[in-house]
Structure 1
Amino acid sequence: MKLRYGLDEKPPMWQLLMYGLQWLIISIPNVLTVAMLAKLQFFDDVAMQTLYLQKLYVVVGLVMVVQALWGHRMPLVVGPAAVLIVGILSAQSAGFNAVYTAIAVCGAAVFLISISGLIGKIQKIFTPRIIITILGLISMTLAPVFLGLIFSEGDLLFNFAFTIIAIIVTFFINDRLPGVWKSLTLVITVAAGTGVYYLWNDVPEMASGGYAIRMSDFIITPEFNAGAIISFLICFFALLINELGSIQSVKDMTKADNPEKRISRGCSVTGLGNALSGMLGVIGPVDFSVSPGIIATTGCASRYTIVPCGIGLIVCAFCPPMIRMFTMLPDLIIGVMLMYIVVLQLAAAFNMMIENRCVTTFNHALTIAIPLGIGIFVALLPLHIVALFPPLLQPVLSNGFVIGVLIVVFLEHLVFSGRKR
């Protein structure tokens, strides 16, 4: 593919800023989805919801700049890791500080793995069937969350009809928008959906968020919970595979040199970014795989165009009124956004199944189906059943994603390995 600007080429300043603006437009919706996490963790505390999103914008912007200049040195969009949403929501019983301490610890572990050269060995564990199952598990174990959001308030029949129509319309818009403009799908859906919702419901007053002044609101108090750390270690293996896939997709497209060095540096920065996120009490970042499509559309692979985008995200963090608007999104709209992500993950899993032709026997199908079935079973366990588990193991045993990943690795490498049926 012929590129207008290569990895290490700098476009003229005005083009650099325009490309950076394009990346910024793509990045903002990625962070939007985490408004749901802020609401679920802080309920009606608008100040804390706003602060959560502010800190997240800073971390994502900072990691994006560091990756472009010193990490993998490629144009990759950074955003909150979807797999960590599952971990955070499943481990809430361990407590806020324990959850984010676990993220910080696991981020540091990813950094150590990256600089030690163990990434290649870990990569061999995750076969295409395991990756397909992971994508499916992310989707299925988030189902109870978006169901709870969609039916949390208002006219339930209206919410039911609205959700079905909104999902169909969203994918229709996504199909009709050309090239890079597809990245605006979620923004259009959220804006239009919120407008329609408030035609039927009262518009709330925008609360005054202000700034939190206690240091404990900015940095967590470390609290080590073995169950939470084990649970997040499994999530971080999935995050690492996501990171590797994103780096490799751009590496192959741009024919980047020193691939091993880029992968090691990129994963190291992602690990440090997650360690920082955990200490700040926000979800960790990961590189997204949308970048190749954008590079193909614009013909620009310059890593320097990502820098204005990262700086722009950091600037957004210091605009509380804009961020506070995200806290006004109705639960129904956030639920629809989450369902959209779930459908995309499932579609990616099915697409990968077709492209890799990795399901050719009944045992191959069972390797994927059994973990998905058990994962959704665990995700739907009633709270009074979860309460029966030993407190130390609750974050692990009540996490459908973690249980599903452990089972698929067991089935793939020990039960159905080398057997045909």
Structure 2
Amino acid sequence: MNQQQTTLKPSETDTSLLYPLDASPPPGQSLLLASQWLFLMIPICVIPASVLGYAFGLTIGEQAMYLQRILILTGFMTATQALVGNRLTLVCGPATVLIVGYLAAGGGDIYGFSGAMIMGGALLALLGVTGMLRRLLGLFTPNVVAVILILVAVSLIPVLTKMAAGMTMNNPSGQPEILIRSVALAMLIVFMSQYLPGFSRPIAILIGIIIGIVVNLALGLKVAPSAAPNISWLSFPSPIGISGSHYSLSVLLPFLFCYLALAVNEVGSVQGMGNLLQVKDLDRRQDRSFITTGAANLVCGLFGTIGLVSYSLSPGVVSVTRVASRHVLMLGACLLFLFGLSPRLAYLFSLIPVEVAGAAMLAILGTQIGAGVAILLRKGNLTARDFLVIGFPVMLGGIISFLPQDFFVQWPITLRTLLSNSMVVGVLTVLILEHGLRGRRT
């Protein structure tokens, strides 16, 4: 689940596009426009990597290695989707909903979820190939989708709180001044995303990250380690070794629910951009999008990274830049891929302070909650039943996310991995209530 989906009507942009979907601008202009997409995709990759790196206690060097893989795979998937997948102007990136699955596991090896990514990728591809997706979507009513969007944000509050407050192994209590700076930076990002002119608005997160780093430097706070590791400028990461433990039921089952939520996100992104640009054969594009996303997630599993999804922020970018050319997006994705070939650049991106990454994530997740509320507002005519169906799963999932891992140790491992995952508990609960709780007869 990622960013709020734009609700502009097609007529508001189609007639004024500088470059339509299949247009190819001149080389010089293409490079300039592609760099805008590049600036947008960098924080999309960096922030989730920072969250996971913090949660799993990775060193800067380990986080850089992980981020390098994400940069390469995000560039690859975005370009492939634009070329042969949905053939739309949709940015791809790490799926926030899968972060919930990672964090619910309670630590361990960050590369230990490869089997879940491969399983999830195969599931998405199967939905695209067989057309089963349209049958499955009947389960995901506006109430269910809204709960999923809100629940992702609520589930990440515990780790987000620690990041924003500067809680580390050396400083487990955090510092009030760090939290104040984080909240102030998040507020600044929110204001910039609304009031900055032109294309600077969609890249407000990147601008906010730069401001946060500058403030840290101005305060004399250390950003980079005193002794930088010897990292090469150019290399390609190798696939990881996958063992039977990566396919244990206790790992796979929780991510099954996370991938169902990811599927809803993929549909929303494709439908949003397709309707905005008034494309034909949207159902076929959606099926191809699932096949491509599934294949990309399978590759993510082979390389040990978090799975990817199409982001729903892209229509907003197109409405601001008036450039819908998928060829420009492909070029931007190729630039991101080239950036990923440099471990040194990945290392530099990984130096973003924890509290700055936390502030950026706070702004992103705040927008995501707003997206869930927007779905409910568009539905309208909410009843007392709707309040129960929406509120109870969010509260229950929130409680699960705050319980310590030690609480679940006494349970059997399969049951533990399911019930310690706030996304699993929340999705199951909202599906049961939405389709099992009948409205009161009058």
Indicate the TM-score class for this superposition, using the shorter chain for normalisation: over 0.9
Taking the TM superposition and a 5 Å limit, the aligned residue runs for 1:393-404 are 393-404=415-426
Query: Paired residue for 1:197?
Result: 216
The structure-2 alpha-carbon separation of the partners of 1:394 and 1:388, relative to structure 1 and needing over 3 Å to count, comes to same
Query: Does the Cα contact within 8 Å between 2:44 and 2:93 map onto a contact in 1?
Result: yes
C-alpha distance in 1, partners of 2:272/2:237? 39
The structure-2 alpha-carbon separation of the partners of 1:259 and 1:419, relative to structure 1 and needing over 3 Å to count, comes to farther
Query: Paired residue for 2:3?
Result: none
Query: Paired residue for 1:208?
Result: 229
Alignment gaps of 5+ in structure 2: 1-13
Query: Does the Cα contact within 8 Å between 1:50 and 1:320 map onto a contact in 2?
Result: yes
Query: Paired residue for 1:43?
Result: 57
Which residue among 186, 189, 212 is the counterpart of 2:205? Answer: 186
Query: Paired residue for 1:248?
Result: 271
The structure-2 alpha-carbon separation of the partners of 1:324 and 1:94, relative to structure 1 and needing over 3 Å to count, comes to closer
State the TM-score, normalizing by the size of structure 2: 0.89
Query: Paired residue for 1:350?
Result: 373
The structure-2 alpha-carbon separation of the partners of 1:158 and 1:93, relative to structure 1 and needing over 3 Å to count, comes to closer
Query: Does the Cα contact within 8 Å between 1:38 and 1:53 map onto a contact in 2?
Result: no
Query: Paired residue for 2:191?
Result: 172
Which residue among 397, 402, 405 is the counterpart of 1:375? Answer: 397
Moved more, 291-300 or 49-58: 291-300
Taking the TM superposition and a 5 Å limit, the aligned residue runs for 1:96-135 are 96-135=110-149
Query: Paired residue for 2:242?
Result: 221
Query: Does the Cα contact within 8 Å between 1:249 and 1:292 map onto a contact in 2?
Result: yes
Which residue among 66, 69, 85 is the counterpart of 1:52? Answer: 66
C-alpha distance in 2, partners of 1:85/1:342? 12
**RMSD, aligned α-carbons:** 2.4
C-alpha distance in 2, partners of 1:195/1:368? 41
Is 1:289 the counterpart of 2:312? The answer is yes
> Could you tell me how far 1:383 is from its partner in structure 2?
2.3
Alignment gaps of 5+ in structure 1: none
Taking the TM superposition and a 5 Å limit, the aligned residue runs for 1:359-370 are 360-370=382-392
C-alpha distance in 2, partners of 1:206/1:25? 28
C-alpha distance in 2, partners of 1:41/1:168? 24
Higher helix share: 1
**Residues 126-166 of structure 1: per-residue CA shift (max 9 Å, x gap):** 00111110011001110001112233146612123223322
Query: Does the Cα contact within 8 Å between 1:54 and 1:323 map onto a contact in 2?
Result: yes
The structure-2 alpha-carbon separation of the partners of 1:196 and 1:18, relative to structure 1 and needing over 3 Å to count, comes to closer
Query: Paired residue for 2:414?
Result: 392
Query: Does the Cα contact within 8 Å between 1:219 and 1:281 map onto a contact in 2?
Result: yes
**Residues 74-132 of structure 1: per-residue CA shift (max 9 Å, x gap):** 11111111111111111245754542211111111111111011010111110011111
Count residues with an aligned counterpart: 419
C-alpha distance in 2, partners of 1:98/1:219? 10
Query: Paired residue for 1:146?
Result: 160
Which residue among 138, 147, 163 is the counterpart of 2:182? Answer: 163
Matched position secondary structure for 1:65: helix
> Could you tell me how far 1:289 is from its partner in structure 2?
1.1
**Residues 339-396 of structure 1: per-residue CA shift (max 9 Å, x gap):** 2222111111112221222x51111011010001100111111222121221122221
C-alpha distance in 2, partners of 1:308/1:40? 31
> Could you tell me how far 1:239 is from its partner in structure 2?
0.7
C-alpha distance in 2, partners of 1:209/1:142? 34
Query: Paired residue for 2:334?
Result: 311
C-alpha distance in 2, partners of 1:316/1:253? 30
Is 1:71 the counterpart of 2:85? The answer is yes
Query: Does the Cα contact within 8 Å between 1:50 and 1:209 map onto a contact in 2?
Result: no
C-alpha distance in 1, partners of 2:359/2:412? 34
Query: Paired residue for 1:261?
Result: 284
State the TM-score, normalizing by the size of structure 1: 0.93
C-alpha distance in 1, partners of 2:121/2:319? 31
Query: Does the Cα contact within 8 Å between 2:55 and 2:107 map onto a contact in 1?
Result: no
Q: Identity of paired residues, percent? A: 29
Matched position secondary structure for 1:201: coil
Query: Paired residue for 2:9?
Result: none
Matched position secondary structure for 2:309: strand
C-alpha distance in 1, partners of 2:27/2:386? 52
Which residue among 255, 272, 279 is the counterpart of 2:302? Answer: 279
